[in-house]
A and B are shown apart, each in its own frame.
Chain A
Amino acid sequence: MATAPNKAARILVVDDDPDLRSLLTLALADEGYEVRAAPDGRVALDLLEAWPPRVILLDLMMPIMDGWAFRARQLATRGSDHIPVIVFSAAPDMRVAALRPAAVLSKPFNLDLLLATVADLAR
């Protein structure tokens, strides 16, 4: 299994589904991470400035600003373009690959796999 993660690492969860947000927040917090959640890309961008995370968990289908738009803005921003992104996608394909994610997880996801991936990236 994973080695002990950096317990102070910040994780940003971006997803419009409140239940999923709460699930991920709980799961990651239980692992010892510091977690914040945003319901859409715009809120997430705002958070990015004030609270740069170690890893971003990004849903693609969101209102207001979706995952694609968020990623584009993130990559264009000097201070945040290096932050790795784990993308949730129901159907991973070429377009998703174009986002250059650090990892792609399909929905519904395997919790253990997700936690392991986060651990890898947060190191």
Chain B
Amino acid sequence: MISAPYSRHPDAVPPAQAADERRYYNIAQAAALLGVSRMSIWRWIRAGRLPVARLGHRTSRIRREDLESLLAERGSATSQPRGVSDRGAVAQGPNDGDAPHADWRAMGASAHFVQFYEADATLLDAVGEYIGAGIGAGETGIVIATGAHRAGLEERLRAAGLDMDAARADGRYVALDAAETLARFMADGEPEPARFAEVVGAVVAVAAEGGRRVRAFGEMVALLAVAGEHAAAVRLEALWNGLQQVHTFSLFCAYPLDALDEDALAMAFGDICTEHAGVIPAEGYTGLADPEARLRIIAALQQKAASLEVEVAARKLAEERLRRSERELRDFFENATEGLHWVGEDGRILWANRAEYELLGYTADEYIGRPITDFHADPEVIADILRRLSAGEELHGYEARLRARDGSIKHVLINSNVYREDGRFVHTRWFTRDITERTRAAHERESLLAREQDARAVAEAALRLRDAFLSIASHELRTPIATLKGHAQVALRRLERTGQLEPERAAEALRTIARQSDKLNRLLGHLLDISRLEAGKLTLEPRPTDISALAGQVVADARARDDRHDIALAAPPRLEAEIDPLRLEQVLVNLLDNAIKYSPNGGAIEVAVSRAAADALEISVRDRGLGVPPEKRARIFERFYQAHGEGHRSGLGLGLYISGQIIELHGGEIRAVFPPDGGSRFVVRLPLALEMGRRPISRARS
């Protein structure tokens, strides 16, 4: 019955007074009203069957209406709340009131109670007394426990004076290994009812033979609970309960308190408690002699539980907020448009966002974990970056080139610094900006600029060449004019001064004038040809011509002009070909003039005409003069080209170029060879019959 302790508590009202007028009940009052233990009230609250406005030892508020509805439920319910049985709920000792001194002694013959213990020794003492008392009273003791506990227990029993061997022989003491026994009826992590009955039931049946009372101590459920198999543990408990319907025996289960620290286990705790008919708290409670003290413990625990629940709820909320914040940050980093990554001390990439590895066309797996140096195109650049970062530098806008998966190069700007915690290096942070497009554009501009400059240089060179040519041309044209004018002047002076002019003098002067006029005419002809060739308007007028005769004429003229050289001609009597005679004459004169000009020391000049093939002829002009320096031989047929430079310039430098063009227009080719014994040999090859449109390239060969 409810007694005096309540007078200590502010809310306490003797149950005899105003019990029916209260609106709110605390746990003790609620228990009294319902005629159940406070433990039961507590269990219902925990099971959610009884709402409570406030929870605490002194300040619990349970509404009367809720109690009444629960009462009504209990009355009409056919099954009782789980775990609450009539089999001696909380055993009460004398004067214990609401804070009973609970131990196994108060348990009934067919009780099923659980003891929580903190120290093994406490447990073994209790079990030792329990089993020992049973055996001493002629009952059978069954112990299903761990090896260590069995050993400890048997030690105590022996110390208490029991003959363990005799008891074992009589079958009054049965000791089984908890894990082994468990294994015999577990299937797929669940205790199998039929097998449990076979295994454990059989043991109990044998122990109870002859109407003997049985006391059992079991740790199998504890093993399951400690292993985290809460559901299985509770089911095993239920099986034990079931067995107690069949056989009469008391069952003492024990749980180590420290195995029940976590949240999930705490829930299981509740389940276990509801399963069991009696609960013996751990020695922190049972060790207290004073009921007041024990009540206070209860109060404190209730308080702790309540505040823990609040704390847990707050923590869960904080965790949720943290998770959301983390999600948002992660989303931000993952989806940032700039590449972000961390690099560890060993140069490996610790983490990277999508922009970073997608820039290079890799997947996260292909990028994260690899050394950063793998992705840089220039080893000395990344080495410098890493060196600077190690030295504690912060990098801004550091240019680098990265190699993408497909081998292409990406230009980037890197910002990077070091993340330290308590001065200790953790990792480096890298921000990568892709400037490939910008760089490409810049390079394009540069190369366009370079091309433009090249083009300009080429154009300028061409202009310079033309200017040089023009100045040379003007000089070269003026010279014959000066000469013929000079001769005219001299002759005139003589005539004026002496009144007469000797015929030889006159003849000489006139011959010179004629010669120089021809030269001038030739030069002017070259200029005209060149301008026609440029305009694509140089045309040939081919007709059947005797090449031998043409050559003969040119040679004769040359001999008349020149007396220092020995000009020889070798030609067949007649050789006809379809050519433009004026133009071919021009070419032959050019070649012969060159031969004369470029062998200033005299010497032999050989002109040869011959049939080279069924359809071709060759004309060659060979001199033994200066030849052409090897480095210039490739260019002698070019426009304006003077093989001997300023020291020995003659003419406009157009002769060979024009000759080359004329020969090509004929469909022939002209080449120069330079024999080892000095001088030059120019060879013209022409088709006998003209094929228009064929234009082979003329070459100079050394």
Footprint of B on A, CB under 8 Å? 16-17, 19-20, 22-24, 26-27, 30, 39-40, 61-64, 66, 90-91, 107-109, 111
The reply to whether A30 and B490 form a contact with Cβ atoms under 8 Å apart is: yes
Residues of A within 8 A of B505 (CB): 26
Residues of B within 8 A of A30 (CB): 490, 493-494, 497
What 5 pairs across the A-B complex have the smallest Cβ distances?
A: A108-B482, A23-B486, A27-B490, A63-B648, A19-B483
Write out, one digit per residue, whether chain B residues 503-523 have a CB within 8 A of any chain A CB (1) or not (0).
001001000100110000000
Residue B307 at the A interface, CB < 8 A?
A: no
| 8 Å CB interface, B460-512 against A | 471, 475, 478-483, 485-487, 489-490, 493-494, 497, 505, 508, 512
Known: A24-B486, A62-B647, A64-B600. 4 other contacts (CB 8 A): A17-B479, A19-B483, A27-B489, A61-B649
List, sorted by A's number, 20 A–B pairs whose CB atoms are closer than 8 Å: A19-B483, A19-B512, A19-B515, A20-B486, A22-B487, A22-B512, A23-B512, A26-B490, A27-B486, A27-B493, A30-B490, A30-B493, A30-B494, A30-B497, A39-B600, A61-B649, A66-B647, A107-B482, A108-B485, A109-B482
Residues A19 and B487 in contact in the complex (CB < 8 Å), given A107-B482, A108-B478, A108-B481 = yes
Give the CA-CA distance A66 to B479 in the complex, in Å: 18
Residue B677 at the A interface, CB < 8 A?
A: no
Q: Is the interface of A mostly helix, strand, loop or mixed?
A: loop
Residues of B within 8 A of A39 (CB): 600
Give the CA-CA distance A27 to B516 in the complex, in Å: 17
Residue B20 at the A interface, CB < 8 A?
A: no
Residue B646 at the A interface, CB < 8 A?
A: yes
Give the CA-CA distance A17 to B648 in the complex, in Å: 11
Chain B: CB-nearest residue to A69: B647
Chain A: CB-nearest residue to B481: A108
Chain B: CB-nearest residue to A111: B489
Chain A: CB-nearest residue to B483: A19
The reply to whether A61 and B485 form a contact with Cβ atoms under 8 Å apart is: no
B61 to chain A, nearest CB (A): 120
Give the CA-CA distance A27 to B493 in the complex, in Å: 9
| 8 Å CB interface, B177-215 against A | none
Residues of B within 8 A of A16 (CB): 600
Residue of A19, A30, A62, A107 ringed by the most chain B CB atoms within 10 A: A19
B486 to chain A, nearest CB (A): 4
Give the CA-CA distance A69 to B701 in the complex, in Å: 33
Give the CA-CA distance A30 to B646 in the complex, in Å: 33
Give the CA-CA distance A62 to B490 in the complex, in Å: 24
The reply to whether B475 and A90 form a contact with Cβ atoms under 8 Å apart is: yes
Give the CA-CA distance A18 to B102 in the complex, in Å: 150
The reply to whether B600 and A63 form a contact with Cβ atoms under 8 Å apart is: yes
Residues of B within 8 A of A91 (CB): 471, 475
Give the CA-CA distance A26 to B515 in the complex, in Å: 17
The reply to whether A22 and B508 form a contact with Cβ atoms under 8 Å apart is: yes
The reply to whether B475 and A107 form a contact with Cβ atoms under 8 Å apart is: yes
Residues of A within 8 A of B494 (CB): 30
Give the CA-CA distance A20 to B487 in the complex, in Å: 9
Residues A107 and B487 in contact in the complex (CB < 8 Å), given A22-B512, A61-B649 = no
Give the CA-CA distance A39 to B479 in the complex, in Å: 16
Write out, one digit per residue, whether chain B residues 634-648 have a CB within 8 A of any chain A CB (1) or not (0).
000000000000111
B499 to chain A, nearest CB (A): 13
Residue of B478, B481, B483 ringed by the most chain A CB atoms within 10 A: B483
Residues A23 and B487 in contact in the complex (CB < 8 Å), given A30-B494, A61-B646, A63-B647 = yes
Residues of A within 8 A of B490 (CB): 23, 26-27, 30, 111
Give the CA-CA distance A77 to B485 in the complex, in Å: 36
Give the CA-CA distance A71 to B333 in the complex, in Å: 85
Give the CA-CA distance A63 to B475 in the complex, in Å: 17
The reply to whether B487 and A108 form a contact with Cβ atoms under 8 Å apart is: no
Residues of B within 8 A of A23 (CB): 483, 486-487, 490, 512
| 8 Å CB interface, B616-665 against A | 646-649
Residues of A within 8 A of B487 (CB): 19, 22-23, 26
The reply to whether A20 and B647 form a contact with Cβ atoms under 8 Å apart is: no
The reply to whether B600 and A107 form a contact with Cβ atoms under 8 Å apart is: no
Give the CA-CA distance A64 to B497 in the complex, in Å: 38
Give the CA-CA distance A23 to B482 in the complex, in Å: 10
Give the CA-CA distance A26 to B600 in the complex, in Å: 23
Residue of A17, A26, A62, A66 ringed by the most chain B CB atoms within 10 A: A26
Give the CA-CA distance A26 to B397 in the complex, in Å: 84
Residues of B within 8 A of A26 (CB): 487, 490, 505, 508
Residues of A within 8 A of B483 (CB): 17, 19-20, 23, 108
Chain A: CB-nearest residue to B474: A90
The reply to whether B479 and A61 form a contact with Cβ atoms under 8 Å apart is: no
Residues of A within 8 A of B482 (CB): 20, 107-109
Among the listed A19, A62, A90, which residue makes an inter-chain contact with B516, where contact means beta carbons less than 8 Å apart?
Answer: A19
Give the CA-CA distance A40 to B497 in the complex, in Å: 32
A66 to chain B, nearest CB (A): 5
The reply to whether A107 and B479 form a contact with Cβ atoms under 8 Å apart is: yes
Residues of A within 8 A of B493 (CB): 27, 30, 111
The reply to whether A108 and B508 form a contact with Cβ atoms under 8 Å apart is: no
Chain A: CB-nearest residue to B493: A30
Residues of B within 8 A of A64 (CB): 600
Give the CA-CA distance A106 to B405 in the complex, in Å: 73
Give the CA-CA distance A111 to B488 in the complex, in Å: 11
Among the listed B479, B481, B486, which residue makes an inter-chain contact with A111, where contact means beta carbons less than 8 Å apart?
Answer: B486
Give the CA-CA distance A91 to B471 in the complex, in Å: 10
Chain B: CB-nearest residue to A108: B482
Chain B: CB-nearest residue to A20: B483
Give the CA-CA distance A50 to B365 in the complex, in Å: 98
Residues of B within 8 A of A22 (CB): 487, 508, 512
Residues of A within 8 A of B485 (CB): 108
Chain A: CB-nearest residue to B490: A27
Give the CA-CA distance A22 to B481 in the complex, in Å: 15
A10 to chain B, nearest CB (A): 19
Give the CA-CA distance A22 to B493 in the complex, in Å: 15
Chain B: CB-nearest residue to A24: B486
The reply to whether A108 and B647 form a contact with Cβ atoms under 8 Å apart is: no
B512 to chain A, nearest CB (A): 5
Give the CA-CA distance A90 to B646 in the complex, in Å: 12
Residues of B within 8 A of A90 (CB): 475, 478
Residues of B within 8 A of A108 (CB): 478-479, 481-483, 485-486
Give the CA-CA distance A39 to B648 in the complex, in Å: 12
B162 to chain A, nearest CB (A): 138
Chain B: CB-nearest residue to A22: B512
Residues of A within 8 A of B600 (CB): 16, 39-40, 63-64
Give the CA-CA distance A39 to B497 in the complex, in Å: 29
Residues of A within 8 A of B479 (CB): 17, 20, 107-108
Residues of A within 8 A of B478 (CB): 90, 107-108
Residues of A within 8 A of B647 (CB): 61-63, 66
